Amino acid sequence: MGLKIGVLALQGDFREHAWAVEKLGAQAIQVRRPAQLEDLDGLIIPGGESTTIGKLMAQYGFIEAIPAQYKRGMAIYGTCAGAILLAKDIKESDQPRLGLMDMSIRRNAYGRQRESFEVTLDIPAIGEPGFPAVFIRAPYIEELYGTARPLATYRGHVVMAQQDRLLASSFHPELTEDTRVHAYFLALAASRGG
Catalytic residues: 80, 172, 174
For residue 31, what are the contacts with CB-CB under 8 A and spacing of at least 6?
Answer: 6, 7, 8, 9, 37, 40, 43
Report the DSSP beta bridge partners of residue 167: 77, 162
With helix as H, strand as E and coil as C, how does the chain read? CCCEEEEECCCCCHHHHHHHHHHCCCEEEEECCHHHHCCCCEEEECCCCHHHHHHHHHHHCHHHHHHHHHHCCCEEEEECHHHHHHEEEECCCCCCCCCCEEEEEECCCCCCHHHCEEEEECCHHHCCCCEEEEECCCCEEEEECCCCEEEEEECCEEEEEEECCEEEECCCHHHCCCCHHHHHHHHHHHCCCC
